[in-house]
Amino acid sequence: MSKPLSDHDKKKQISVRGLAGVENVADLKINFNRHLHFTLVKDRNVATKRDYYFALAHTVRDHLVGRWIRTQQSYYEKDPKRVYYLSLEFYMGRTLQNTMVNLALENACDEATYQLGLDMEELQEMEEDAGLGNGGLGRLAACFLDSMASLGLAGYGYGIRYEFGIFNQKIANGWQIEEADDWLRYGNPWEKARPEYMRPVHFYGRTEHHPDGVKWVDTQVVLALPYDTPVPGYRNNVVNTMRLWSAKAPCEFNLKDFNIGGYIQAVLDRNLAENISRVLYPNDNFFEGKELRLKQEYFVVAATLQDIIRRFKASKFGSRDIVRTDFSTLPEKVAIQLNDTHPALAIPELMRVLLDDEKLSWEKAWDICVKTCAYTNHTVLPEALERWPIDLFQTLLPRHLEIIYEINRRHLERVSSLYPGDVDRLRRMSLIEEGPQKRVNMAHMCIVGSHAVNGVARIHSDILKATKIGEDFIRDLDQLQKLREFVNDEAFIRDIAKVKQENKLKFAVHLEEHYKVKINPNSMFDIQVKRIHEYKRQLLNCLHIITFYNRIKKEPNKQWTPRTVMIGGKAAPGYHTAKMIIRLITAIGEVVNNDPVVGDRLKVIFLENYRVTLAEKAIPAADLSEQISTAGTEASGTGNMKFMLNGALTIGTMDGANVEMAEEAGDNNLFIFGMRVEDVDAMDAKGYNASEYYNRLPELKQAMDQIAGGFFSPKQPDLFKDIVNMLMYHDRFKVFADYEAYIKCQEKVSALYKKPKDWTKKVILNIAGSGKFSSDRTISQYAREIWGVEPTLEKLSAPDDLK
């Protein structure tokens, strides 16, 4: 039996939120009221909930400012090697709570708002998500910034300040509808515009070759205006910077050309230049070769490299004169990490600056470039690879195309000296793909131009706070391994189950408010949340739901394990199949949820507008995490790890990071099923025949016949013909091949869920094995193995104006 908590233990338990000291609370209240009055120009009679959120945000932000200035000052003085993380996406979500946690202000703010007659949670709900990402790639970038700050690295995130982030998803009559995400409408209290660091970015034009070098002339200029957002480390007084660029037209834009239709039109046309930072492309794992997207990619890279070089040149002796002119030391002072190929133009742009502006020789410039840049690959799907048409390059970035040709010439020279006469190898490894339309292969450019290349999981590179363990685990997640000692501790098992149940009840309340469906909180919460994509196989999940539904209907008196199945995620607006998958999920829900025979033994909910903020509610409430991509298609997955850490068990294939999760927690503590990569390869070799499974497996046939026959769409029986046709005749991801194993595996899941203690023991072993998947561990490894810098857990001293 566990003994009652002593006062000391209680204090220890709440200290994760920070202490609500009396002075602290009083100060926060004073500053809250000051901001309400002076910043928002409101009094308590007319202030809205949003005003109160802004007042609180500004109050918390005040605590960041001193630390932020101090951190940047210390970098300027110590001149450490700086790490620049370049990404077209940063999926940040909300900032307020993360900031309070990292500054240990959560308890004090809670108490202050309570004393002011306000509800902290209600205020937090007013904050818009910063949805500047699509999925895993963008969320990884956000986690990485957090970890770089927590590990005391001089890290900078560089990206684009999209005026519109990932669209808001509405479900209307079962279909996905996109709405623009006007996240900046009410202003963003966390950013600070820095117009003094505005940089010009050039497009179009032509090149001139002179004896003294190459000039890129007659270009169109767009200005890059930086907005800085603080990135606080965990309780170490470090505050790093995320700098996002916004596009501005220069004052003289179009006005010097008298052939334009006059002054008014010239001013209106400024929008064209400023469209560069207007909107995030909503594609995940898919390449769309649009000119605006290439402009975005060059825009972020050109502005960022100017910043990097300005900072490299600036003296650390408090003068702004250009002191460093020897670029051979650049790789000792600068590391550039390319988050996928989207910022790949950093390679030719750095070459352009070193060759044309700094007048270095090719050999010297190339050596510096390779030593500075490193590349992370995020996907193996061929449709996701960036391959830009050469004529687009020629028009938009003529100098860069020349440089890429020269990089390729030297690269192929080296390949052919290593493999003489191997023409096929030259063709395969070239940066330029021949064919009806010549293209630049950006992945090849990244590999050739970087000193380190990594994937996001081993398979991909190769092809709780319990009082029992204290709270150091927050900084060192490996300490969760200590939980293994408590796997048979009855009280601890009860505690874990209780926390999960509380999270489920809270989420059930949220769902009932939003979906008007009565949730059985004792049912298994079976959750699949991720982008809607054929390779992620939401359709396999659908087939299990239908099969389970049919089984209940066939034997209504059997003791079935009740489930609430939740599927959520956005479909790219142009991806027809993905949108049909959503419509199928909602259609299945309409039938299942209204069938009195089934009752509360099975409910199907499509979670609308899945985003960081909804993940923060759903993941802690999950019992079962669905990670069921075809083996060899999910580079890693990141949600999978978050579910594991938060006490869900995983049903999944041996794909991506699932492989390492099984290794850390023990194979028998995950529900692994289906083909391995070798099996998929073998099936590709002999050919996949869907109808063979359809004819052999009666329950699969029944489910498919129901979808095809209009059972789920009685008003429009052929609504799902495209999905049926795809599954039967051109399914690249072999859903039927894993159906039988998946259903059998789900039976095991249901059987174990009937034994709560055994289930919870597996949960404990999963949490205990999740330490490896902390981004702190990842960033420590990047730091040592790629960037050549050493993480530190030392604190910076707090600024004088704060205790």
Q: How many CB atoms lie within 10 A of CB 491?
A: 12
Selecting among 94, 295, 500, 531, the annotated active-site residue is 531
Selecting among 58, 536, 570, 583, the annotated active-site residue is 536
Which residues make beta-bridge pairs with 121?
A: none
Three-class SS of 317-354: CCCCCECCCCHHHHHHHEEEEEECCCCCCHHHHHHHHH
Selecting among 530, 544, 601, 603, the annotated active-site residue is 530
CB 512 within 8 A of CB 519: yes
Exposure class string for 200-211: b at 16+ Cβ within 10 A, else e: ebbbebebeeee
Active-site annotation holds for 78:
no
CB 340 within 8 A of CB 376: yes
Which DSSP letter does residue 656 get?
A: T
Distances (CA, A) of 307 to 80, 155, 304, 314: 16, 14, 5, 11
Structure tokens of 455? 């994937």
Report the half-sphere exposure of 581 (CA within 13 A, side-chain side).
27
Q: Which amino acid, one-letter code, is at 489? A: D
CB 27 within 8 A of CB 116: no
* Per-position DSSP letters for 532-552, written without gaps between them: --GGGTHHHHHHHHHHHHHHH
Report the distance separating Cα 405 and Cα 699, nearest Å.
56
Cα dihedral angle (9, 14, 15, 17), rounded to 10 degrees?
Answer: 170
Helices (H) and strands (E) in the chain, counts: 31, 24
CB 783 within 8 A of CB 789: yes
Selecting among 95, 229, 304, 638, the annotated active-site residue is 638
Structure tokens of 304? 């960022």
Closest CA to 749 of 629, 652, 615: 652
Active-site annotation holds for 554:
no
* Per-position DSSP letters for 182-248, written without gaps between them: -TTTT--TT-EE-GGG-EEEEES-EEEEETTEEEEES-EEEEEEEEEEEEE-SSSS-EEEEEEEEEE
Active-site annotation holds for 42:
no
Active-site annotation holds for 510:
no
Q: Phi/psi class of residue 95: alpha, beta or left (left: φ > 0; alpha: ψ in -120 to 50)?
A: alpha
Helix (H, G, I), strand (E, B) or coil at 518: coil
What kind and span of H or E run contains 86?
strand 82-86
Active-site annotation holds for 642:
yes
Closest CA to 397 of 160, 253, 221, 205: 205
What kind and span of H or E run contains 616?
helix 612-618
Active-site annotation holds for 29:
no
CB 464 within 8 A of CB 500: no
CB 758 within 8 A of CB 497: no
Q: Which amino acid, one-letter code, is at 284? A: D
What kind and span of H or E run contains 84?
strand 82-86
Q: How many CB atoms lie within 10 A of CB 797?
A: 9
C-alpha distance across the termini of the chain, in Å: 41
Selecting among 58, 82, 139, 378, the annotated active-site residue is 378
Phi and psi, residue 333, nearest 5°: -115, -10
Structure tokens of 377? 């690959």
Selecting among 161, 642, 734, 762, the annotated active-site residue is 642
Q: Which residues are catalytic?
A: 378, 530-531, 536, 638, 642
